[in-house]
């Protein structure tokens, strides 16, 4: 058992001053209120809970900053970016994946996330015929090296498009049968320690048949784990889907499946009024990834209308073009302000926009992870949090009514002093950066470079 005394802490329900947390087995066992510090306490200034990064493809971190130019005589968009991503896929193996993921996870821990849902569809190394578990092993190694809490989410990817198109040679690296996916899930379950957990999902409606999707949905229900999928990210997908089904993807999904709060719909960028209402009513979490959605030119989610309907949201770093939970929340609000030409879209009940979005992302992260111990700081939750200093120039002079908004909107410099996951303060592992540097030189001075 060890204790932490915080002068100011963001507990479930809001800010509280002078709190002691008693921690053992990685869990907050007791919270003592309005109490002064004692000699055995580890004293900190400000404590805030870590967010769950509800959607990440960690290997894509290697492409960050490398796809920001327009190919000659071609319009650049999501689909051309996907070609670059597929090109990377051909050149990564387990050791490369591990090095890239470790760098991404370390950056998550430095920027507001203490857990990550790794939405993982890359199941085979290039040229590997048999499916294996080694790319999952590589991700787990990265999570254990850095200390982040992993929600491993194996993903089914079986076809090249809505009309059962064949997989391209690169997409073959994603392919598993339903039975292989389930076998792989059980392998992961057998070796994950208590600090980590599992979800499952399908890549998108275009990547699986309805029958395969039903099989994975049923399995998620049996295992009582969250079900994740990408949906309606690109307008083209909505148009293509409509041509075949005479229905829009989210509308069709909600009519044909029992979508509940155990579902995490990633993006859901293109919604009409009917879909928006049904989605909010379903209780499912929509995972929004504003920096990736902006980077890939996806479009802007209808946040204002969704919030008015009581919809739930989580945030994710997705392609990991940049990794910062505060930035995701800031851009979620800023996208709306630019679109609506108004201010403070997410603000409600006398709470600032930043604080409202932070609260929603905490709750949505709990649901998307499927683990009630992840999220808000309370008795029985994981000791997963960050310490900050009130004398940081971004925060100085703020009282609790504006402090969370300063954290989200006023990032003039690095805010986070220390991070604790599972009851232990973490230190950045020096080998992570070295390994990442080696791998990046290897990838971009030889194979991937055209
Ligand atoms: Zn994604």
Q: Supply the pLDDT for residue 425.
A: 98
Q: Does 72 share its domain with 89?
A: yes
Distance from the CA of 27 to the center of ligand 1, in angstroms? 31
> What's the CATH code of the domain at 405?
2.30.40.10
Q: Supply the pLDDT for residue 74.
A: 77
Q: Supply the pLDDT for residue 290.
A: 98
Residue 161 placed within a domain: yes
Distance from the CA of 415 to the center of ligand 1, in angstroms? 27
* Neighbouring residues of 337: CB distance < 8 A, sequence distance ≥ 6: 343, 345
Q: Does 88 share its domain with 196?
A: yes
Residue 443 placed within a domain: no
Instruction: List the domain range (segments joined by +) for residue 158.
Output: 51-369
The tokens describing 89, both together, are 């896929």
The tokens describing 344, both together, are 């403070």
Q: Does 104 share its domain with 227?
A: yes
Q: Does 191 share its domain with 228?
A: yes
Catalytic site residues? 267, 318
Q: From CA 418, how far away is CA 10, in angstroms rounded?
A: 15
* Neighbouring residues of 69: CB distance < 8 A, sequence distance ≥ 6: 76
Q: Supply the pLDDT for residue 446.
A: 58
Distance from the CA of 55 to the center of ligand 1, in angstroms? 6
Place of tokens 């690109």: 234
Q: Does 362 share its domain with 422?
A: no
Q: What is the Cα 206 distance to its own chain's centre?
A: 21
Q: From CA 442, how far away is CA 449, in angstroms rounded?
A: 10
pTM, rounded to two decimals: 0.97
Residue 446 placed within a domain: no
Q: Does 7 share its domain with 29?
A: yes
Q: Supply the pLDDT for residue 7.
A: 98
Residue 275 placed within a domain: yes
The C-alpha angle 434, 436, 440, rounded to 5 degrees, equals 120
Distance from the CA of 402 to the center of ligand 1, in angstroms? 32
Q: Supply the pLDDT for residue 56.
A: 98
Q: Does 17 share its domain with 136?
A: no
The tokens describing 109, both together, are 């821990």
**Structural domain total, the chain:** 2
**Which residues is 387 bridged to in the sheet?**
47, 418
Mean pLDDT, each 10-residue run in order, the chain (450 residues): 97 96 98 96 98 98 93 82 91 96 98 98 86 93 98 97 92 94 98 96 97 98 98 95 97 97 98 98 98 96 97 98 98 97 95 98 98 98 98 96 97 93 96 97 71
Q: Does 391 share its domain with 418?
A: yes
* Neighbouring residues of 59: CB distance < 8 A, sequence distance ≥ 6: 88, 89, 92, 97, 100, 101, 122
Q: Does 208 share its domain with 301?
A: yes
Q: Does 209 share its domain with 338?
A: yes
Q: Supply the pLDDT for residue 128.
A: 81
Residue 444 placed within a domain: no
The C-alpha angle 399, 378, 390, rounded to 5 degrees, equals 25
* Neighbouring residues of 239: CB distance < 8 A, sequence distance ≥ 6: none
Q: Does 33 share its domain with 124?
A: no
> What's the CATH code of the domain at 327?
3.20.20.140
Residue 445 placed within a domain: no
Q: Does 214 share its domain with 242?
A: yes
């Amino acid at each position: 058992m060890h204790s932490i005394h915080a002068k100011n802490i963001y507990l479930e329900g809001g800010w509280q001053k002078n709190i002691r947390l008693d921690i053992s087995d990685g869990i907050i066992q007791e919270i003592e209120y309005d109490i002064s510090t004692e000699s055995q306490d580890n004293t900190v200034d400000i404590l805030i809970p870590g967010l769950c990064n509800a959607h990440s493809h960690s290997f894509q971190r290697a492409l960050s900053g490398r796809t920001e130019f327009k190919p000659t005589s071609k319009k650049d968009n999501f689909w051309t970016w996907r070609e670059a991503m597929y090109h990377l896929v051909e050149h990564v193996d387990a050791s490369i994946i591990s090095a890239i993921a470790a760098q991404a996870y370390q950056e998550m821990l430095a920027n507001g996330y203490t857990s990550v849902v790794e939405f993982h569809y890359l199941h085979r190394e290039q040229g590997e015929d048999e499916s294996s578990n080694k790319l999952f092993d590589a991700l787990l190694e990265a999570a254990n090296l850095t200390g982040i809490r992993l929600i491993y989410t194996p993903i089914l990817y079986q076809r090249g498009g809505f009309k059962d198109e064949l997989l391209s040679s690169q997409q073959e690296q994603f392919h598993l049968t339903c039975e292989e996916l389930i076998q792989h899930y059980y392998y992961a379950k057998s070796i994950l320690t208590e600090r980590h957990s599992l979800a499952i999902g399908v890549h998108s409606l275009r990547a699986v048949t309805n029958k395969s999707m039903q099989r994975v949905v049923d399995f998620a229900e049996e295992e009582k784990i969250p079900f994740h999928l990408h949906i309606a990210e690109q307008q083209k997908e909505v148009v293509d889907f409509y041509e075949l089904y005479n229905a829009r993807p989210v509308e069709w999904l909600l009519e044909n499946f029992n979508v509940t709060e155990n579902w995490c719909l990633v993006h859901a960028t293109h919604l009409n009024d009917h879909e928006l209402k049904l989605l909010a009513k379903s209780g499912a979490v929509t995972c929004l990834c504003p920096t990736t959605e902006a980077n890939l030119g996806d479009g802007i989610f209808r946040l204002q209308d969704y919030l008015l309907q009581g919809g739930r949201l989580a945030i994710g770093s997705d392609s990991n073009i940049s990794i910062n939970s505060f930035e995701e929340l800031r851009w979620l609000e800023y996208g709306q302000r630019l679109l609506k030409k108004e201010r403070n879209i997410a603000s409600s009940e006398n709470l600032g926009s930043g604080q409202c979005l932070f609260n929603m992302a905490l709750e949505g992260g709990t649901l998307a992870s499927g683990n009630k111990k992840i999220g808000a700081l309370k008795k029985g939750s994981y000791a997963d949090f960050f310490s900050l200093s009130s004398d940081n120039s971004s925060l100085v002079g703020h009282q609790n009514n504006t402090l969370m908004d300063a954290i989200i909107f006023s990032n003039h410099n690095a805010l986070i002093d220390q991070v604790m996951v599972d009851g232990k303060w973490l230190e950045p592992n020096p080998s992570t950066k070295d390994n990442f540097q080696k791998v990046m030189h290897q990838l971009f001075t030889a194979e991937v470079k055209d």
